[in-house]
Amino acid sequence: MKRFFALFIGTFFATTLVALPAASGAVATPATTIQISPADAGEIANGYQHLTTDFYKKVDPQTVLATVRSELLAAMRTAGVPHATLPDLKSSDAGGTNVRGIDREVEVAAAQSRSKFTVHQLSYIALDAMMRSVDDRYTVFLTPKEFAALNQDLDGGDFGGTGIVIQIDDQTKYILVENVVPDGPADKAGVQQDDLITAIDGKSTKGLTVQEASSKLRGKEGTSVSLTLLRDGTATPSPITIVRAKIHQLSVYEKMLPEKIGYVALTVFGRDTGAELNSALTRLQQQGARAIVLDLRDNGGGYLEAAVAVSSKFISSGPIVSVESRASNITTLEADDTAIDPLPLVVLVNGYTASASEITSGAIQDSGVGTIMGTKTFGKGVVQTIYPMPDGSAVKITTARYLTPRNRDINHLGISPDVIVVENKRPQYGIPAKDGQLERAIQYLNEKLAKLNQENGV
């Protein structure tokens, strides 16, 4: 696997092991006949080094060793090794001694529970325990499956489909086209936003769930699906045939709201989010957008670089965020000179707006280029670095905290909106009639546009 170091500021993944009290006192243990593999030993050494060197606060090696011992004992006893015993570990300043102690602990555990765990599984438990020892919810060990899932969440997956984002139309109970992926199969076939799909392959969609309809729209690349559409209350002359193709899951969705207000929703701050946002804003500008709503509600974050790229679309110059590492070294990241022409801007946020979303919200608020609206954000002001392991696992370690352009530390505090608007019951984001916060944002922007027109004598 290609190694990389990704600055990550999104939500956290954590595995869970049952923790039981460890036996107290030093206990003699039998000699082992099992040895840890060089690969597992290497990953333990890497994990230990990154934790003790890169974690944004000073790490106590003795706490790390004690937690490893405790977690290994807990796992063994839970798995049915009731009299499991492991030697006490004492930290040392001598190079490599602490890591060799962890390796030895894994070997002893493997010898005592031959039929319960492999050495590799116990190495994972040790790595997980090391990350837990610093009592930081964002510093975690990721198994290969968890790391792959994290990457897919951030960078999107590929699937065979039509390129339509759908939901249920409340009035008719048919399937509503909420968005069409640009240049996707449906877009090329002429499907438009707000079309109603009344039938898929001749079968009515009335009463289908979104999941049921989605399963009918997706399929093997190169296969065809027929859609019967209702557009502006009138049925299209004949069903539209779409040939499914590979669709890459987007992180940015846009549409034009009434009175030329552009709406852009970000689901995550992934590797392609900056480029996707640039394309979305370009399309909205070409359609004559007079103002923008940037929806960051329920966006748990992602990559630091993506937060800078997104913020730079609205902030023409100056600082976006400052990152302070363990040694109090501060790096300030500036706007990258890719901003669109200024337009009235509202950023929608809520209690699940976190991390990279808060960097963007804080930068926009501090720079004064937009209005933050909604409810207080989550309050995650720390940055993680991901260190992949050769076998596909990884450790994610909090390596710094960040500050907004005005040097605000929002960790555990969140960002307070400029305009507080509480979410309505059962909202449907992106549909003004079902989304009270969006409706208020539109009203706010229309008032601002009217005022600007008056000031300019228009």
pTM of the model as a whole: 0.83
pLDDT for position 8: 58
pLDDT tens per residue across span 47-66: 999 999 999 999 999 999 99
pLDDT confidence bin for 384, thresholds 50/70/90: very high
SS3 of residue 165 by DSSP: strand
Q: What is the mean pLDDT of residues 351-368?
A: 97
Six token digits for residue 36: 């840890």
pLDDT tens per residue across span 259-281: 999 999 999 999 999 999 999 99
Q: Does position 14 have pLDDT exceeding 80, yes or no?
A: no
pLDDT for position 114: 80
Q: Does position 6 have pLDDT exceeding 90, yes or no?
A: no
- Mean per-residue pLDDT of the chain: 90
Percent of the chain whose pLDDT exceeds 70: 93
Angle at 305 between CA 303 and CA 307, to 5 degrees: 75
Give all domains of the chain, ordered by start, each with its CATH number.
6-22+34-153 (no CATH), 159-248 (2.30.42.10), 252-455 (3.90.226.10)
pLDDT tens per residue across span 393-415: 999 999 999 999 999 999 999 99
pLDDT confidence bin for 381, thresholds 50/70/90: very high
- Taking alpha carbons only, the member of 5, 9, 4 closest to residue 403 is 9
List own/partner pairs for 203-209 with CB under 8 A and 24 or more apart. Answer: 205/174, 205/175, 206/172, 206/173, 206/174, 207/173, 208/168, 208/175, 209/168
Please state, in angstroms and rounded to a whole number, the distance separating the CA atoms of residues 301 and 166. 24
Q: Which residues does residue 371 pair with via DSSP β-bridges, in sequence order?
A: 346
- Taking alpha carbons only, the member of 176, 189, 184, 287 closest to residue 232 is 176
Please state, in angstroms and rounded to a whole number, the distance separating the CA atoms of residues 271 and 8. 11
pLDDT tens per residue across span 409-439: 999 999 999 999 999 998 889 989 999 999 9
Six token digits for residue 107: 């070997």
SS3 of residue 164 by DSSP: strand
DSSP H stretches of helix in 349-389: 356-367
pLDDT confidence bin for 7, thresholds 50/70/90: low
pLDDT for position 13: 31
pLDDT tens per residue across span 225-258: 999 999 988 887 789 999 999 998 899 999 999 9
pLDDT for position 369: 97
Please state, in angstroms and rounded to a whole number, the distance separating the CA atoms of residues 120 and 110. 9
Please state, in angstroms and rounded to a whole number, the distance separating the CA atoms of residues 320 and 363. 5
- Taking alpha carbons only, the member of 264, 261, 256, 226 closest to residue 243 is 226
Q: Which residues does residue 245 pair with via DSSP β-bridges, in sequence order?
A: 161
pLDDT for position 9: 59
- Taking alpha carbons only, the member of 323, 324, 326, 304 closest to residue 52 is 326
Residues belonging to the active site: 355, 366, 380
pLDDT for position 21: 30
- Taking alpha carbons only, the member of 53, 166, 152, 42 closest to residue 103 is 42
Residue with tokens 């557009």: 231
Please state, in angstroms and rounded to a whole number, the distance separating the CA atoms of residues 117 and 122. 7
26-30, 31-35, 180-184, 343-347: lowest mean pLDDT where?
26-30
**How many CB atoms sit inside 10 A of residue 368's CB?**
9
Residue with tokens 């720079």: 367
Residue 144, H or E segment: helix 144-155
